[in-house]
Structure 1
Amino acid sequence: MASKKIKQKQKPASKEKQTFLTGFNLDNFVPSKYQIVVLAVIILLLFLYFFSPLYFEGKTFQSGDIITSKSATTYIEHHSDGFTLWNPYVFGGMPAYAIAVGYKWFNLIYVAVDGARKVFSSPFAVDYAKWTFYLLALAYTMFAFFYLQTKNKLVSLLVAVATAFSTGLIVFLFIGHVTKLAAIWVFPIIFLLLFNFQTRIKFLDVLILIFFMVALFLGWHVQIIFYIFFAVMIYFIYFFLRSLLQKDNHLKKQILKSLAVFVFTVIVGLLIQSDNLTQIYEYTPYSTRGTESLVEKETGPTEKSESDFYQYATNWSFSPGEVLTFVIPSYYGFGKSTYQGPLSQNQPVEVNTYFGQMPFVDVAMYMGVIIFFLALFAIITDWKNPLVRFLTVLALIALIISFGRTLPVLYDLMFYYFPFFDKFRVPSMILVLVQLSFPILAGLGIVKIISLRNENNKKLESLIRNAMFVFGSLFVLTLLLSSPIKEWFIGRVVSAGQQYSRLQPLHDYMAEMFINDFRIAMLFTGLTFGLAYAYIKSKLSADLLVLAVCLMIVIDLFRINSRGETFTENARIEQLFEKPDYIQAIENTGDKSIYRVLNLKQDGSIGSLNQNSNFLTYFLMYDIYGYSGIKPRTIQDYYDALGSPANPTFWIMLNVKYLIFDQQVNMPSLELIYSRDKTFLYKN
């Protein structure tokens, strides 16, 4: 194994009478053979508590992507064939990537995963609850990975919970990017098997890897799959070089053998999922991800770093300054939160207070301040551990790539020369690898602390004591210098630029959020190292240390995640899909011809120009607009050239017969056939 085996039981360093604090041991409460089951139940209970509004109160999350997903349900339910390869209801028609209408009975791995998800979600009334299955699965797979590496059950619990509730990962559930989660949960198992292969390659392990490889492909989020494979590539490069430097022939042979096995399982997985693969492969050259725009081609060559194609790909580039959000999530304003105060007549209102360089964010890329500093502790104190070195290298490379055009040292190299990388946008998305690596590193940091009682390492003991004093002192300073710190923070918001002047009424709210996050970060980190120091001095047992740190991590992550989540009544989502009056008016015409529709309302209502969400698909109306992360390049070229779909000649070309406005328009070619309130339906 790549990491050290640490025994969970520790002998007391002193013969003094044991107290509850020094003698606490999980074995005294739960027999060893039942502990994994009990810890698995604890993880489940944490999910039931945190997601109780979703599970038991009839609430769900609301976002454009969630609404877009629901918009397709009517089409899928009414499609007559088993699979649909074409969606005619958005952008005048586009490939549907083999969306399954029927049950994939021929894919037994799909049957197994889908069946497990259905069993999990069956007690819950809200359909969206099923997507939390993947976060729960991530917790369990991460527990398995860490436990089989260290044999420490309680630290495995800490790592599992920290990973599943990491703000940078759980946000995918909040905003409807659930296919990312459908891939991410497989990450720990893939690496668990790869590390097993370093010792011996078993046939059963190969079969398990094939199963999870197919599971990885089921959600078919190509970008996340790419990042996981990128992490695997770093793994093989790192351990192969390690085997050469250490002249470890056995490791070298096992790495080469496991590489062959991994490639084989990938091929098998791709063949099983080829119905999806072939669709995307054939469509990509005709999409916005596969080629430059017509406008860019017509304007002639430009510097690559200045091109629209490059700008589109790098819009969500992370920045070195935003690394501080790993420690203080509101350092750049956080993202979405709920304001309730005098500005809103004490009513809860969702606001976005982010003022960094990206266009916007939903939440900060936070993983927990305790996790961050424990991971750094592992990197500093356990550097000889090959698992620590590998995860550090992986996280550092991912972090540098995430900077995108902000610091394009590695990003440009990948963008221009690495296969398929230029098809992806949102460079900051690769931070999922950091979010997955740091909890493991933090767990190894705790394991290292547990080992110190028997090592008598005065240098590391002093490091922990000094960390306790430093973070404790910073906590005290946040209490004494609250006003100057808040003024400094507001100054940063003001200096961020004119585009953030809209945040001026919220400056006090933002500053208060920042100072509270700062205080809690320093308090929890100081307490963590204080507890570690108490453990080293035999004032605390190892199990109580881990449980106390785990409790603080849960409190911290639940606090931040609750800020970023926005629950709404599930019934309200259903009401959004009540048939609009303009759809009913079109149906009342009795028009049986083939035609397309365009909603040009600009009032922000669902289905309008700026919030299309593929809403008309729900009513089986053929729209020439829509929403997709991989739009057809041809129709996007029209939008780019025309400026918008609001062009009468364009309507004729695409057979647009009915148009919806939020005000009257005076155009000779349009006939008003229905009006009510702010809805005006015209026939072209």
Structure 2
Amino acid sequence: MKNWFNRNTVHFAIIGIFIVICFVYFAPAWQGKVLIQSDVTQAQAMQKEIMDFKAADGKAPLWTNSMFGGMPSYQIWVSYPKNIGTHIMAGIKGIFPYPIDIVLLYLLGAYLLLNVLGVKPWLAAVGALAFAFTSYNFIYIEAGHANQAYAIALLAPVVAGVLWCLRGKHLLGASVLALSLALEIRVNHIQVTYYLFIALLILVGIELYHAIKGKKVADFLKSIGFMVIATIIAIAVNAGLLWTTYEYQKHSIRGKSNITSEDRGSEQHGVSRDYAYQWSQGVGESITFLIPDAYGGGSNDKIDPNSNVAKVLSSKGIDVSQVPPNYFPNYWGDKPFTSGPWYFGVIVVFLFILGLFIVKGRIKWWILAATLLSIFLSWGKNFSLISDLFFDYFPMYNKFRAVESNLVIAAFLVPILAILAVHELINNRKGIDKLDKKILYSLAIVGGISFIVWALPDLFLNFQTSNHQQWVQGISQSVQDNGFGQSLGNALVQDRADIARHDAFRSLIFVLLAGGVVWLFAKDKLKAPVVVAALGVLILIDLWGVDNRYLNKNSFVEKSQAQQYFFKPREVDNLILMDKTPDYRVLDLTVDPFQNATPSYFHKNVGGYHAAKLMRYNELIERQFSRSINEDVLDMLNTRYVITNNKAGTSQSIQKRDQAAGNAWFVDRVTFVKNNEEEMHALDSFDPKKEAFIHEEFKRQLDEKRLGRSTNASIELTSYRPDHLIYEYSAPNDVMAVFSEIWYDKGWKAFVDGTEIPILRADYVLRAAQLPGGNHKVEFKFEPSSYFMGENISLVASIVLVLSLAAAIWLENRKKSVVSPTVK
């Protein structure tokens, strides 16, 4: 043990430094403060009903009625207690407060990968900092995209396991791959995992080429075999999560549409192209990789009191402090809005380009190919030649939106090659042909771009949005002063140019300093440790300064303050909550009802927010609520209250809807429809209490001869738990009951006095059942086999994973020394 500790002293020291850096940057988190994040707030609102039941009986329901009438809760929050990844992530979060845990994972994962690549510890630590402090790694945290941030943090360990396998350390590599991939999948941001898969396909292709060329196909296939086994274990560990997600996505907006959508134009699989490409990185905007605010920074930056816009406003007596942050946006790219730039670091980009000149071997070509592909794909609609090929033909690619997220791969790989360049420089300086020229070329490319933007900012950049003139005209019309509107437009363009010039000069200084360090080392004027330390300090200062613009101490507040700020009930909420009748719904029109989950914190919400809502419900929204609100559909959804604003938007009022159909009711007649289009059209005008529309596909599951009228019949919800509903009813004859619960056939079961009966779909999205006459109890239970069987598979696979990892560690410790594989 003592020898093991002595061998790893440097690693422990570096980890300690990582913790200190996180402590300094995130001091408020150590003090118990929390981030104010809109996406986290939305998530808390979505989860409220789930967490209330979990707190009451220790068991979280698998279904929630808090959004969109109802949906599986495992698309919002679920524990998966038999998954080892659940407990590992809980342990990490228990030791380190959020978001320190994420940043430490960034650092440790990249540090592991660079050590696997043969980089010495202190230089690997610099590389870890370069990756961890890439701007969007912090912007994702600030925005509340925690799952995405965790997934990014686990990219490096997955690649480390793959490389160990490919370099012959099969058991250790497979074990690390299985563990890291299991965690990668468990944090549940499949989009990031999918982009990593594309990058790894390129790596495997390159390795196969070299295996064939070197006549080592057998060794390659052996490595692939271990990787396949590791992947199977990782997938099995997450069987519950993946099975339920796969099952659900086919019925969500990521799956096939049921009818021809008025918005989409035709039936399709996956999200629409426009929806997927809405957040496409601009081709020119990629200059932010080395000049952070060349495109203005974020959409919500406040007006600088010393800016040109502020001066124009002040000349008209307008108080700048009262102007909303996004009214005069510094950001001028084509995305609808953005939280900030994709800044890799000007020093990192300089070293990356140098790496293209001096690093040898297939790792460089993999990094270059994967980086370029991720950039091309991030351009989306701005480079449809490649994007459309992937969207149309690459499996599952059209399931994901916000294609700019492809840049997580570039942001991960660019720092890796940058550090490999320094590694090559330190270890093979005299063997690099024409090193002086290669350093100068790299410096000229990055420094030259920075210099041009600083000296002549409008040479390539116009600092105007595509709708700039319309914006100017709108301002002019609102104040009835064309001159004033034009002055504001000109001032805004000048401010954007000044911001770009400032950051271009900043980048120029940093790249000249870093270039000077590298040049002095090439001339044997500096020692390697000094170079590593100097580059580490410069990179950290550079990236820290940009990150601090978007995530800083002012982003944190006391826990109590955050809770009260977002979830303080209004008078209308308190009045509605006085109604203790179970399972009625609320439509809140004071917010965008189908893009905001906040009302779900207090009520069972007709609307909500989710990136993968059920397709049928989404189609109901498009057809019955997009132009005007269909009151009949509100009735069938048991919408008892509607919240509205007054004309000034200063107060809210409640509309109580006594005509809401209730939790369940008996209909007098059933009308069969031939297709989904006809079923949707039938909802345009009908009385849901009297008539139910049922698709012909369910016709054989009921007995038409037993369809009686509901005279003197009654039904009541007597016990409510989202995934277990109990009704009691009395009917003199067989009846058709419709329930104001959302239909989903992957797990719901219905029972009359303990005997299972079929569940039918009525009125496009609701559940219905044919019930026998008499006095009976009806139960609905949500028991998806995908979850319960998946959990059992997870348990077995988790045990296998732990045993294989223990065996790999034991075998490694038997060796007297560990020899790191070199970069090829």
| Shorter-normalised TM range | 0.7 to 0.9
8 A contact 1:214–1:270 mirrored in 2 = yes
Task: Tell me which residue corresponds to 1:584.
Answer: 574
Matched with 2:290 is 327
Work out which of the residue numbers 585, 591, 594 in structure 2 matches 1:596: 585
SS at match of 1:249: coil
1:95 aligns with 2:66: no
Q: Aligned letter for 2:568?
A: E
- Please show how residues 262-341 of structure 1 align to structure 2 within 5 Å: 262-292=227-257, 294-296=259-261, 309-336=272-299, 337-341=301-305
1:177 matched to 2:145? The reply is yes
Counterpart in 2 of 1:236?
Answer: 204
Q: Match of 1:333, SS?
A: coil
In the other structure, the counterpart of 2:166 is: 198
> Match for 2:115: what amino acid?
Y
Partner of 1:393: 369
Q: Is residue 85–residue 186 contact of structure 2 (8 Å, CA) maintained in 1?
A: no
**1:655 alignment partner in structure 2:** 638
Letter in 2 for 1:634: R
- TM-score (norm: length of structure 2): 0.69
Question: Which deviates more, 172-181 or 263-272?
Answer: 263-272
**Higher relative contact order by CA 8 Å / sep ≥ 6: 1 or 2?**
1
- Match runs of 1:603-622 below 5 Å: 608-609=591-592, 613-619=596-602, 621-622=603-604
**Distance in 1 between the 2:402 and 2:358 partners?**
34
User: Which runs of 5 or more residues in structure 2 are unaligned?
Assistant: 1-5, 311-318, 476-487, 658-824
Letter in 1 for 2:645: D
How much does 1:226 deviate?
A: 1.0
Per the TM alignment, residue 495 of structure 1 is displaced from its structure 2 partner at its CA by 6.3
Q: CA deviation at 1:454?
A: 3.0
Question: Quick check: 1:82–1:100 contact (8 Å CA) kept in 2?
Answer: no
Letter of the 1:314 counterpart: Y
Structure 1 partner of 2:355: 378
- Specify the alignment match of 2:409 in structure 1: 433
> What TM-score, normalized by structure 1, do the two folds share?
0.83
SS of the equivalent of 2:74 reads strand
The yes-or-no answer on 1:71 pairing with 2:45 is yes
Aligned partner of 2:607 in structure 1 is 625
Contact 1:318–1:404 (CA<8 Å) still a contact in 2?
yes
Distance in 1, matches of 2:647 and 2:224, equals: 65
Q: Counterpart in 1 of 2:619? A: 637
Within 2, Cα distance between the matches of 1:568 and 1:436? 27
Q: Does the Cα contact within 8 Å between 2:110 and 2:127 map onto a contact in 1?
A: yes
Counterpart of 2:601 in 1: which secondary structure? helix
Q: Name the Cα RMSD after superposition.
A: 3.1
Cα distance change, pair 544–297 in 1 and its aligned pair in 2 (3 A): same
Q: Structure 1: which 5+ residue stretches go unaligned?
A: 1-30, 122-128, 602-607, 666-675
Bigger mean CA deviation after superposition, 175-184 or 403-412: 403-412
- Measured at CA, do residues 143 and 186 of structure 1 come closer, stay the same or move farther in structure 2, by a change above 3 Å? same
Separation in 2, partners of 1:233, 1:476: 38
| Partner in structure 2 of residue 556 of structure 1 | 542
Does the residue aligned with 2:72 lie in a helix, a strand or coil?
Answer: strand
TM-aligned CA deviation for residue 349 of structure 1: 6.8
The aligned amino acid for 2:635 is: I
Q: Secondary structure at the match of 1:407?
A: helix
Matches within 5 A, 1:472-621: 481=455, 485=457, 491-493=462-464, 497-498=468-469, 501=472, 504=489, 506-565=492-551, 567-570=555-558, 571-575=560-564, 576-588=566-578, 590-601=579-590, 608-609=591-592, 613-619=596-602, 621=603
Aligned pair partner of 1:210 in 178, 202, 206: 178
What letter matches 1:584 in structure 2?
N
Letter matched to residue 597 of structure 1: V
Alpha-carbon contact 2:254-2:271 (below 8 Å) kept: no
Greater CA drift, 622-631 or 38-47: 38-47
User: Relative to 1, partners in 2 of residues 1:409 and 1:120: Cα closer, same or farther, differing over 3 Å?
Assistant: same
Distance 1:652 1:51, change over 3 A: same
Give yes or no for contact 2:278–2:402 (8 Å, CA) kept in 1.
Answer: yes
**CA drift at 1:471:** 6.4
> Is this contact kept in 2: 1:167–1:557, CA < 8 A?
yes
Residue pairs, 1:348-367, within 5 angstroms: 350-351=325-326, 352-367=329-344
Number of residue pairs aligned between Structure 1 and Structure 2: 615
Pair 1:287–1:385, CA change in 2 (3 A): same
Q: In structure 2, how many angstroms separate the alpha carbons of the residues matched to 1:473 and 1:422? A: 38
Residue 116 (structure 1) shift = 2.4
Match of 1:125 in 2: none
CA contact (8 A) 1:295 1:637 kept: no
Match of 2:382 in 1: 406
| Contact residue 402 and residue 429 of structure 1 kept, 8 A | yes
Is the contact between residue 113 and residue 156 of structure 2 (CA under 8 Å) also seen in structure 1?
A: yes
Q: Distance in 2 between matches of 1:99 and 1:301?
A: 29
Amino acid at match of 1:149: L
Q: Deviations over 1:534-557 (max 9, x none)?
A: 112222111111211121111111
Residue deviations 1:342-362 (CA, integer Å, cap 9, x gap): 646468974442221222211
Distance 1:347 1:539 in 2: 55
Note the alpha carbon deviations across 1:504-524, whole angstroms, 9 max, x for none.
Answer: 354444333211110011111
- How many Å apart are 1:436 and its aligned residue? 0.6
Q: Distance in 1 between matches of 2:264 and 2:234?
A: 43
What whole-Å deviation, never above 9, does each CA across 1:121-154 have from its counterpart, x for those lacking one? 2xxxxxxx2x431221121111111123224222
CA drift of 1:456 comes to: 6.9
Q: 1:371: Cα distance to partner?
A: 0.8
Structure 1 segments of 4+ aligned residues over 6 angstroms from their partners: 469-479
The structural deviation recorded for 1:51 is: 1.9
Give the corresponding residue for 1:249: 215
Find the aligned partners of 1:525 and 1:540 in 2 and give their Cα distance. Answer: 18
2:194 alignment partner AA? F
Q: CA deviation at 1:68?
A: 0.8
Residue 434 of structure 1: how far off its partner (Å): 0.4
Amino acid at match of 2:163: F
The more displaced of 218-227 and 260-269 is 260-269
Give a deviation string over 1:132-187, Cα, whole Å, max 9, x none: 31221121111111123224222211110011111122221111111112222222
Q: Which residue of 2 aligns with 1:17?
A: none
Q: Is the 8 A contact 1:356 1:496 kept in 2?
A: no
Report if the CA contact (8 A) 1:84-1:98 is conserved.
no
The 3 A distance-change label for structure 1 pair 231 and 654 is same
Q: CA deviation at 1:465?
A: 4.2
- Quick one: distance in 1 between partners of 2:58 and 2:7? 53
Instruction: Show the counterpart of 2:24.
Output: 49
In structure 2, give the amino acid aligned to 1:171. Answer: I
Q: Is the CA contact (8 Å cut-off) linking 1:155 and 1:447 kept in structure 2?
A: yes
SS of residue matched to 2:655: strand
Q: Secondary structure at the match of 1:428?
A: helix
Q: Distance in 2 between the 1:533 and 1:224 partners?
A: 37
CA distance in 1, matches of 2:132, 2:516: 26
For 1:562 and 1:610, the matched residues in 2 are separated by: 34
**Contact 1:158-1:550 within 8 A present in 2 as well:** yes
Flag the 1:586–1:209 CA change in 2: closer, same or farther, 3 A: same
Letter of the structure 1 residue corresponding to residue 188 of structure 2: W
**1:430-469 pair list within 5 angstroms:** 430-451=406-427, 453-455=429-431, 457=433, 459-465=434-440
8 A Cα contact 1:595 1:656, kept in partner: yes
Distance 1:472 1:105 in 2: 52
Percent identical: 23
Give the C-alpha shift of residue 649 in structure 1.
2.9
Structure number with bigger Rg: 2
